[in-house]
Amino acid sequence: MKITALSAWTVRLRLSEPYTIAYETIDAVENVFLRIETDGPFAGFGCAAPDLAVTGETTASVLEALDSVVRPEFLGADPRRVSRLRERVRRPLEQHPAARAAADMALYDILGKIAGLPLYLLLGGHRDRIKTTATIGICPLEETLRRAQDLSARGFRALKLKGGTDVEEDVARVLAVREVVGRSVELRFDANQGYSVDESLRFITETRPAELELVEQPVPRDQLAELGVVTRRAALPIMADESLMSLRDAFRIARRGLADMVNVKLMKVGGIGVAMQIAAIARAARLEVMVGCMDEAALGIAAGLHFALSHPAVAYADLDGHFDLLDDPSAGAVELKNGTLFPRKAPGLGFDL
């Protein structure tokens, strides 16, 4: 079997509800879709969700990387040799993780279709569903409480609050949300690199009555020593997100004890293959893994979900990036029931564009 053609295109996706995080407000996103054709009956599909602030990419740079690097390396190659093809593009696309992720997931999609199995079963099949958080961006207290009550009523048992711009306001929002949703809903908090060490520890101390489950990326991504200080002094688990961009980062965080948990996003690390390697490092270091996402079409979420279901190191999922996307051509690639995500039963990623 050989790869005969690659095509990639950009889709602009508006958000039904714009949201704000510590460093920007988002009302629309662009994803790149990839189709890899073979001389057999199978085609594989991938998705890239570049973010200049996180992955250092744009849709234009993703399209260029797929055309100038992935196309010449993949054409004529055997798509079943996923590891070999991934290694061919690893170095030239080292600074293009979302482009690598799209190519990687398309290859795995083909592999699942050849095997006649949903990808999560092919990769290990540790579980067949997983609970996901629903995220509430930075917004006024009244709006935060309205969204929290609405999501709780829709069956979500885990909520993530964004913050990092004002400690006092963040503390007030967390405590108020706990009051309105009760104790049966798990609460997580993401500072998106917005705090100093002192602010992080103050926030953790003052929100103790809310019994937060974890705090994600409290300090800037390059302040690894400071992240370690917060981790050692905090009374609850600290998760590294933006500080984890590669396999090497995972090793560094694990070796130096810089975090209790890691957030693995396919778009940050370069796809399912690298994510599996990071999960192995995390398990060896007894770090829990959360599978997260960017603002991704449902196809990208499906890839993250299949990874999450396959590996025992994955304890949490934050796969809600597709919830508010309008006109998603891959809508339906995953199923959501009462805050729990299920994969489609079709082979591969389970969805053909």
Q: Environment class of residue 120 by beta-carbon count within 10 Å: exposed (0-12), middle (13-18) or buried (19+)?
A: buried
Q: Which residue out of 73, 104, 199, 241 is catalytically annotated?
A: 241
- Residue 251 DSSP code: H
Confirm whether 162 is a catalytic residue. Answer: yes
Active site residue 241: yes
Active-site annotation holder among 109, 162, 186, 296? 162
Euclidean distance between CA atoms 229 and 20, whole angstroms: 27
Tokens coding 62 = 């993703």
Give CA 18 to chain center in angstroms.
Answer: 19
User: Exactly one of 265, 296, 324, 328 is catalytic; which is it?
Assistant: 265
DSSP line for 171-189: HHHHHHHHHHH-SSSEEEE
Which residue's entry shows tokens 């973010």?
Answer: 51
Catalytic-residue membership of 170: no
According to DSSP H, which parts of the chain are helical? Answer: 59-65, 71-74, 82-90, 97-115, 119-122, 141-153, 167-181, 197-206, 224-233, 247-256, 266-269, 272-284, 298-310
Q: Which amino acid type is present at position 56?
A: G
Q: Which of 57, 73, 190, 324 is catalytic?
A: 190
User: Active site residue: 57, 104, 216, 260, which one?
Assistant: 216
Query: Is residue 265 flagged as an active site residue?
Result: yes
Could you give phi then psi for residue 275, rounded to 5 degrees?
Answer: -60, -40
| 292 to 148, 193, 198, 244, 314: CA distances (angstroms) | 20, 16, 26, 12, 11
Please give the positions annotated as active site. Answer: 162, 190, 216, 241, 265
